[in-house]
Amino acid sequence: MEVSENEEISVEDEAVDKDIFKDCSKIAFYRRQKQQLSKKSTYQALLDSVTIGKDSTRFQIINEATKVPLLAEVFVLEGNIFRLKINEETPLKPRYEVPDVLTSKPSTVRLTSCSEDTDSLILADGKGDLKCHITANPFKIDLVSKEEVIMSINSLGQLYFEHLQIPPKQRATREKEEDTSVDTSQENLEELGLWEEKFRKYVDVKVNGPASIGLDFSLPGFEHLYGIPQHAESHQLKNTGDKDAYRLYNLDVYGYKIHDKMGIYGSVPYLLAHKLGRTLGIFWLNSSETLVEINTQPTVKYALTQMDSDAVEQKNTSQTDVRWMSESGIIDVFLLTGPIPSDVFKQYSSLTGTQAMPPLFSLGYHQCRWNYEDEQDVKAVDAGFDKHDIPYDVIWLDIEHTQGKRYFTWDKKRFPNPKRMQELLQNKKRKLVVISDPHIKIDPDYSVYAKAKEQSFFVKNHEGGDFEGLCWPGLSSYLDFSNPKVREWYSSLFAFSVYQGSTDILYIWNDMNEPSVFRGPEQTMQKNVIHHGNWEHRELHNIYGFYHKATAEGLIQRSEGQERPFVLTRSFFAGSQRYGAVWTGDNTAEWSYLQISIPMLLTLSITGISFCGADIGGFIGDPKAELLVRWYQAGAYQPFFRGHATRNTKRREPWLFGEEHTRLIREAIRERYTLLPYWYSLFYRAHVASEPIMRPLWVEFPDELEAFGVEDEYMIGGALLVHPVTEPKATVVDVFLPGSNEARVWYDSKTFTAWEGACTMKIPVALDTIPVFQRGGSVVPIKTVIGKSTGWMTDSPYGLRVALSTKGSAVGELYLDDGHSFQYLHQKQFLHRKFCFCAGVLSNSCADERGHYPSNCVVEQIFVLGLKKQPSSVTIHSFDGKDQPVAFTYCAQMSTLSLEKLSLSIGTDWEVHIK
């Protein structure tokens, strides 16, 4: 890359022409697979080669054309997970297998053969719940649960496997040099891109030749599929036409196009399928460029007429076929058999881990822009929140805070005393987040560069020197995070003694880690650069951003293992949930981007990444006041809540849009802080039980067909339904309230009006309204006093919002710990309380006897919705034997009961009796 060392880099280097990105027609392995599969070359399983071992069953597969054997390995893992691995039996060199993503070696269940002959083999686990039917010719696997085929593998014959070859120049003269598995006539070589692939001015030289893989999966009865982030697309996956596959290839796409299947910042190669009575998952463990094709054939009803009889209605059952294609690696796929959504979430997290338990402050509001100019600017913005009585927890600094974009440094003119600046924030119980990117400025006098260079810690070009690419600092080298030694060293840079000017309130934002390389092919690194272990970048491109787990590990180490980290990453992979939060990248200040943020976040949530959000107001451009207010209202009900803006935009702190808009933004942010106990409890459930926080309706109502395609509203946990207003000048919104399969009631959280479920309601909205409904049968814990930040609210009192079901009952819970350390894990220092309302009694009891945590907090307010009859008395029963009468207010018109000025300890058992 010819770049002047002093060449000026600007935001325009990121605001790239969309034509620099490939569509499927420009991806050689896609063209090869499409061309070859049109010829219907088939594979056969050699069942006389079967060996059944303790952990797996192995057998050979052979392609009828090439006669080169593949080795298939079948596993059943604990928790009803089926795993299939297919690799070359004797590859020229090892093929890449993704490391570090699985949390541990999965526990296997021994398989037994139920029946076998030369044509088929049936394997079953010990319980017989899951059976695997292997057909020999043509090769096919059916997964069977309770005598029903729930998924078929290779039923369309799309298994594809390119064997590693000796480069043409190294081969001895042969009659036919090229592999017979593909047409390699000279005029076709460039089209196929076997050893070289050209795109624009770039040539991708492939020393290992073609190595792509592919496989199809058929899902009988399924029409609704979700997952495979990250795309700016609908939550429900769409059918893919020709050259229109979903692409998983991590790229820096500034102002990405919406309703598009191109890959953007992160990739999770995992999708879920849902139908009445069954949820499944497919996790394709491959970190090279991956394409996914989807073809759904919906249920078709038709009349079959017969002579001398009445017409008979026939029904063709729906089916969805999914085809995965990856540029390299092996086939390693996990099939999660459910059967219900929560089972699939647990199965996936048993492989890749659960959402990290975040520090409490990170659930508050974050204020960011590129860039807060200097210490005085930070001080003024911080004071502005106090002046306008708006709570917030974290202020962020982008790349301009550094000395010439040298990470782990401070600009001496703008930030001469960073510790004093952090002390001012700490005195207000607030935090600071700063940015750190993977590109390191080439400068021998920059200690981070010099030490990494000395230890050969950078990614290499294919000649063996350090790879050099262009990014914000100018010419840069890129740390090779796939090397454990590099990660260990990078983690050590966060030590207070090393990172001068940092304190224990400083946390980290990892950006540009796709990796972004300005003016590189598709704005990223060439695929043939070399990583640790002599692996090409093409093998591991999609997990480069995942390896910023080194940041989280560094923040833990600097506190000697005591404190939870907070890290935000732009790029991610399966398993990134273990290390922090993710956001939807460089969005735009337009209504359409507010709308698309909801399905984007729902898709992240169901694929394990619960801690996710979108930049409030849109990163690019200047939002009008109405859009900004609506975005704050939406963001307050999404897990990661941050306002952010790019460099050349107008300032947009919440108080700059006039008094009325300031009031509305204040209300939205304060409602977020009111609900913090509920949010924190949901994060605990995500952490220990794999439950998504932001849930599409189909997850919470899996038996309601009408809910399967809804993506403009969602559940927060099991109790709150949120329908953000995403249209300008809206006066009414259509809100779908589920409830067709049971009597259900919903309560408007603002007016307390009760609505019946199983219908779509027209809800009037003004600019101060966001439709939020509490589900009948739930208890939501809140804070009744809001502080300047979460740190001021530790001992503030709780309230309980009790929404009764049609049967007059409700349940909920509260999780509480110190909000920052790992003592909840190591010393069981936590409280987990359960609230239950039944037969006129509200009780607070222990939900987990293992936990103990001293808390001074009390419940001072209880609000009951849906109480049909005015009580004659309300008494508190403590377990020290005393009953105490309580004053109450009952509203017959709204059927609400209000108890105020209580002093009920949150950590002890008690009951409130309503007669």
Task: Please name the amino acid found at residue 711.
Answer: E
Beta-strand ranges (E) seen in 208-346 are 213-220, 224-227, 246-248, 270-275, 278-284, 290-297, 300-304, 312-316, 319-326, 331-336
- Kindly tell me the sign of the dihedral angle through the C-alpha atoms of 675, 678, 681, 682: negative
| 82 closest CA partner among 14, 24, 130 | 130
CA–CA separation, 500 vs 497, rounded Å?
A: 6
Asked if residue 154 has a cis previous peptide bond (ω within 30° of 0), the answer is no
Q: Which of 125, 223, 511, 860 is catalytic?
A: 511
Q: CA-CA-CA-CA torsion for 772, 260, 643, 437, nearest 10 degrees? A: 140
DSSP conformation class of 280: E
| 693 closest CA partner among 708, 705, 678 | 678
DSSP H or E run through 709: none
DSSP conformation class of 200: T
- Contact partners, residue 414, CB within 8 Å, separation at least 6: 373, 374, 375, 400, 401
CA–CA separation, 617 vs 365, rounded Å?
A: 14
Q: Which of 514, 539, 700, 711 is catalytic?
A: 514
DSSP H or E run through 531: strand 530-531
514 noted as active-site residue = yes
Task: Please name the amino acid found at residue 569.
Answer: T
| 707 closest CA partner among 219, 236, 230 | 236
511 noted as active-site residue = yes
CA–CA separation, 713 vs 711, rounded Å?
A: 5
Q: Which of 586, 671, 813, 817 is catalytic?
A: 586
Q: Which two tokens stand for residue 149?
A: 């085929």
- Contact partners, residue 716, CB within 8 Å, separation at least 6: 637, 678, 679, 682, 693, 694, 695, 722
Core vs surface per residue 735-774: b (16+ CB within 10 A) or e: bbbbbeeeebbbbbbeebebbebeeebebebebebbbbbb
Query: Could you identify the residue written with the tokens 């790879």?
Result: 467
| Cα 817–Cα 821–Cα 826 angle in degrees, nearest 5 | 85
586 noted as active-site residue = yes
Q: Say how many C-beta atoms besides its own lie within 10 A of residue 468's C-beta.
A: 17
> What is the separation of C-alpha 726 from the centre of its chain, rounded to a whole number of angstroms?
22
CA–CA separation, 563 vs 364, rounded Å?
A: 18
Q: Which two tokens stand for residue 711?
A: 């993506």
- Reported for 124-128, long-range contacts at CB under 8 A and 24+ positions apart, including other chains, are 125/76
In a 3-state reduction of DSSP, which class is residue 785?
Answer: coil
- Contact partners, residue 215, CB within 8 Å, separation at least 6: 86, 153, 154, 158, 159, 160, 323, 324, 331, 333
Angle formed by the axes of helices 625-635 and 659-674, to 10°?
10
CA–CA separation, 594 vs 619, rounded Å?
A: 11
CA–CA separation, 411 vs 373, rounded Å?
A: 10
| 27 closest CA partner among 162, 147, 198, 163 | 198
Catalytic machinery residues: 511, 514, 586
